[in-house]
C-alpha cells in the first residue's frame, strides 16, 4: 500500500512537471514570438524578386498626386491601384514609373509572390525611390524625401494586409532622439483646385501650396474628404544653403539632408549614376530585424508578407515655386536575397510538417504535450526519433520551442 501511494505520488509529480514545463514555455515565448509558419509561396514557374502587386494606394494631397499615376474622370480606388501595378509590378527601379505618395502620411501597400525571409545580419529587401545627391555635395544626400517603412506578416493566412503592422526603426531613432514624433496625426480637407488645408493633433495647421508647374487637382480625386493619417513624423531635414552657392548659378539653394538608414526614397538607388548595376542595397535596403512594435520594442519576424511605405516628413520649402511640399515617391521594391527567401520557406514548410509529431494534421498544444511526455519518460505513442525535431539526437526543451514558434 505504501509503495502504491508513493508510485501514485510520483505519477502526479511527473504530470505536474509536464504541465508546468508546457505553461512556462508558452508564457515565456508568446509575448514576442510571431508565427513562424511560411505564409506565401505562390505556385509560379519562376519567382520574381520584384513586387507582385499593390494592395492599397492612399496618397495624401500633393503636387504629383493625380498625375503619378494619372487620375482620369470616374476612376475608382481599384482603378488607381491597377495603374500603380502598371507602373510597378514586376519591375526594377530602371523600368518602373514613379508613384507619388503626396504629403505626410500618404501610403502604398504591396506584396511579393513569396514571403521575404529575415536573413540574420543582412538587408532583406530594398525600397526604391528617386532620391539623389545634391549637385554641390555640401551635405549628405540633398534630395531625400524619406518615407517610413512598415512590415506585416499574413498570420491569419487570408492574403490581405489586415494583420498587425510593425514599423522599421530607422536611424532617426538613434540620431535624432527627442525629435521624432511617434504619435502624429494629420487631417487634410478637400479644396478643389486650391491650396489644400491641413490640421494636426499638435495644434498646428498649414496648407499644401499649389504651384504653376503642376496644374491638376492636388487632392486625390477618388478618396473621400477629410483624409486622416496617423504614424511617425520624422524630424525636418530641410536646410537653406543659398548663401553657399554662386547667386548667378541659383538665387536659392535648399537641400533635404539624408538619414543614414531605414527609410524609403531617402538615398539614391545607385551608388554610381554611371553604372546601372550599382544598386544601393546598403542605403536603400531594409533589415526586417529593425522592426519594432507600437511601444518601440523589437519584434522577431522570420518572414514578412506585406510592406507599407508612407511619407514621413511634413515640411515644405519656404521659397514659393521652389520645391513645394516634401513627398515620398515610390519606384518599387526588391527581395535582395530571393533564393535565400525561397530556401527559408521550404525549410519552414518541412519543419512544420515534422512539428506535427502526434500526426493530428495540425500543429497545436497537443504536439507540445507529446514532446513533453517523451522528455519526462512517458512517450505514449510518440517515439523519441519523431520528437527530436532539431535532429541533435536527444529530445529537450529546444524541440518544444520549435513547436511553440510554429503555433499560430
What are the Cα distances from residue 284, in Å, to 123, 125, 200, 242? 9, 8, 29, 28
What confidence tens digit (pLDDT) does each residue in 194-239 have? 999 999 999 999 999 999 999 999 999 999 999 999 999 999 999 9
CB atoms near residue 1 (< 10 Å)? 5
Nearest to 110 by CA among 258, 304, 311, 267: 304
User: Which of the 8 DSSP states describes residue 259?
Assistant: P
Cell of 115: 514571403
What confidence tens digit (pLDDT) does each residue in 101-122 have? 999 999 999 999 999 999 999 9
pLDDT computed for residue 17 by the predictor: 57
User: What pTM was estimated for this model as a whole?
Assistant: 0.87
pLDDT computed for residue 275 by the predictor: 92
Please count the residues of the chain: 408
pLDDT computed for residue 36 by the predictor: 45
Rg (the chain; Cα; Å): 26
pLDDT computed for residue 31 by the predictor: 38
Residues of the chain with pLDDT under 50: 1-7, 28-36
Amino acid at each position: 500500500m505504501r509503495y502504491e501511494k508513493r508510485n501514485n505520488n510520483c505519477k502526479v509529480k511527473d504530470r505536474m512537471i509536464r504541465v508546468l514545463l508546457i505553461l512556462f514555455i508558452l508564457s515565456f515565448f508568446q509575448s514576442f514570438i510571431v508565427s513562424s509558419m511560411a505564409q506565401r509561396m505562390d505556385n509560379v514557374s519562376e519567382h520574381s524578386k520584384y513586387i507582385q502587386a499593390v494592395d492599397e494606394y492612399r496618397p495624401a494631397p500633393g503636387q504629383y498626386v493625380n498625375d503619378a499615376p494619372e487620375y482620369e474622370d470616374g476612376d475608382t480606388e481599384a482603378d488607381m491601384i491597377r495603374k500603380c501595378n502598371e507602373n510597378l509590378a514586376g519591375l526594377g527601379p530602371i523600368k518602373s514609373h514613379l508613384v507619388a505618395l503626396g504629403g505626410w502620411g500618404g501610403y502604398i501597400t504591396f506584396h511579393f509572390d513569396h514571403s521575404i525571409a529575415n536573413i540574420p545580419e543582412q538587408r532583406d529587401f530594398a525600397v526604391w525611390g528617386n532620391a539623389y545627391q545634391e549637385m554641390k555635395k555640401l551635405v549628405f544626400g540633398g534630395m531625400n524625401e524619406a518615407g517610413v517603412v512598415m512590415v506585416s506578416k499574413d498570420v491569419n493566412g487570408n492574403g490581405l494586409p489586415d494583420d498587425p503592422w510593425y514599423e522599421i526603426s530607422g536611424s532617426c531613432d538613434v540620431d535624432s532622439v527627442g525629435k521624432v514624433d511617434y504619435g502624429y496625426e494629420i487631417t487634410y480637407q478637400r479644396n478643389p483646385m486650391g491650396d489644400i488645408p491641413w490640421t494636426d493633433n499638435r495644434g498646428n495647421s498649414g496648407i499644401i501650396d499649389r504651384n504653376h508647374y503642376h496644374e491638376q487637382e492636388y487632392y486625390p480625386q477618388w478618396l473621400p474628404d477629410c483624409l486622416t493619417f496617423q504614424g511617425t513624423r520624422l524630424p525636418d531635414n530641410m536646410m537653406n544653403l543659398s548663401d553657399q552657392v554662386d547667386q548667378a548659378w541659383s538665387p536659392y539653394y535648399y537641400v533635404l539632408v539624408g538619414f543614414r538608414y531605414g527609410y524609403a526614397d531617402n538615398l539614391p538607388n545607385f551608388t554610381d549614376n554611371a553604372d546601372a548595376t550599382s544598386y544601393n542595397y546598403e542605403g536603400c535596403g531594409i533589415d526586417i530585424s529593425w522592426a519594432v512594435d507600437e511601444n518601440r520594442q523589437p519584434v522577431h519576424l522570420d518572414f514578412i508578407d506585406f510592406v507599407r511605405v508612407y511619407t514621413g516628413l511634413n515640411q515644405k520649402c519656404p521659397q514659393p515655386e521652389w520645391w513645394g511640399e516634401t513627398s515620398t515617391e515610390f519606384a518599387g521594391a526588391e527581395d535582395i536575397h530571393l533564393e535565400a527567401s525561397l530556401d527559408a520557406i521550404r525549410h519552414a514548410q518541412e519543419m512544420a510538417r515534422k512539428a506535427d509529431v502526434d500526426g493530428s494534421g495540425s500543429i497545436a498544444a497537443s504536439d507540445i504535450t507529446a514532446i513533453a511526455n517523451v522528455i519526462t519518460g512517458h512517450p505514449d505513442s510518440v517515439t523519441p526519433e519523431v520528437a527530436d525535431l532539431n535532429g541533435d539526437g536527444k529530445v529537450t526543451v529546444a524541440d518544444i520551442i520549435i513547436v511553440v514558434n510554429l503555433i499560430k
